[in-house]
Structure 1
Amino acid sequence: MAARRITASSINWSSLAERVPPNQKSNFQAFKSKSDVYLRSVIANPEEAPKIDWAYYKKLIPIPGLVDKFQSSYDALKVPYPTENLTPQIEVQAKETKAEIERFIKSSNDRITEYNKKIAHLKSLLPYDQMTMEDYREAFPDEALDPINRPTFWPHLPEDQLGYKPKDAPPSDH
């Protein structure tokens, strides 16, 4: 893969800035300024190294063959461009993240549907200030006081009832 000359940033900074939370704006600005400084330093340098005038050095240096040796060594020198091998890993990570996002969206939509059903049920009820205790027991049979079938002690809270066991209590042996 041949190296290509960087002449402009390929990052859409304004689009990226829209996604940065307010508490991270200063970090984002610092990152952008570092990126801009790097880009300016790359653009300030020429694309290719300046050509060496070997004839000038052959006239100047009296040792025969020394300049030719340096020239052949210099021409044989090839600095390898680093190979890019992280794209497959990034693509796998992107697919995993996309699948995770899709699962989150599906579960969120399921929760929204369930909450909308609860809202519709609540809207179909009488307003609380117009309900009697019987109306409340019909609307919420699990939460309403039922002194005949499920008598409770005042103040009618679960932890004040006989046989109450906290959810985080260890199981008893007897």
Structure 2
Amino acid sequence: MAKRFTKPTINWVEMEKRVPPSQKANFFAFKAKADAYYRRVQASPAEAPKINWEEYSKIVPVPGLVEKFKTAYAAFKVPYPADTLSAKIDEQWKALQPEIQKFCETMQKEIDAVTVDLNKVKALPKFDDMTMEMFAELYPNEALDFTKKPSFWPHNIEEQPGYMTPEQKAMKAAGHH
């Protein structure tokens, strides 16, 4: 008889943590199918039912028929496929471990860098409390500096005096006025 499952070997809680929100519905549908299959397996008996052969030999009038069925029943084995893939999967998993470790290290470095940037942003004063002077001090390249580089509303490049489109620049460079 095949090995009987006593409990599922899948850690559904950990797997659910790794499923992206857009795939949650598919994950729960898969889990429901797996649970239904597991319940069906558990509902079946682990061993084949025992037959009272003496009772049948008293009832069946044909001599030797019950013994023939008894030997055939004892000889019958349910064919279970041999597990030929687990070893290959384990080999692939072992081969992937260095790549996974390298990816995790790379992602941890990125997480650390982003955490540093996030802490800098969190340390800034609230947007409502920040003045233009504070912004200019914190971000000199992004701040408007009206003394060194005056601009007019709406303070975008296209609306400023002297602005030329790329086509106008190309014509001027070619010598056209």
TM-score band by shorter chain is 0.5 to 0.7
Residue number in structure 1 paired with 2:20: 21
Matches within 5 A, 1:71-150: 71-105=70-104, 127-128=140-141
How far apart in 1 are the matches of 2:45 and 2:35? Answer: 17
Residue number in structure 2 paired with 1:56: 55
Specify every segment of 5 or more residues in structure 1 that has no aligned partner in the other structure, as ranges.
116-125, 134-153, 163-174
Matched to 1:6, the amino acid is: F
Deviation at 1:127, TM superposition (A): 2.8
The DSSP-based 3-state class of the residue aligned with 1:52 is coil
The DSSP-based 3-state class of the residue aligned with 2:37 is helix
Deviation at 1:53, TM superposition (A): 1.2
Residue number in structure 1 paired with 2:33: 34
Deviation at 1:112, TM superposition (A): 8.7
Distance 1:17 1:70, change over 3 A: same
How far apart in 1 are the matches of 2:112 and 2:42? Answer: 54
How far apart in 2 are the matches of 1:78 and 1:110? Answer: 56
Return 80-89 or 55-64, whichever deviates more: 80-89
Where do 4+ consecutive residues of structure 1 move more than 6 Å?
109-115, 154-157
Distance 1:59 1:109, change over 3 A: closer
Deviation at 1:93, TM superposition (A): 2.2
Matched to 2:64, the amino acid is: G
Using the aligned pairs only, state the percent identity: 43
Deviation at 1:18, TM superposition (A): 0.8
Taking structure 2 as the reference length, what is the TM-score of the superposition?
A: 0.58
How far apart in 2 are the matches of 1:52 and 1:103? Answer: 59
Distance 1:110 1:35, change over 3 A: closer
Query: Deviations 1:127-166 (Å, cap 9, x if unpaired)?
Result: 3257x89xxxxxxxxxxxxxxxxxxxx8789x9599xxxx
How many positions carry a matched residue from both structures? Answer: 131
How far apart in 1 are the matches of 2:48 and 2:13? Answer: 34
RMSD over aligned CA atoms reads 3.6
Deviation at 1:81, TM superposition (A): 3.0
Matched to 1:99, the amino acid is: P
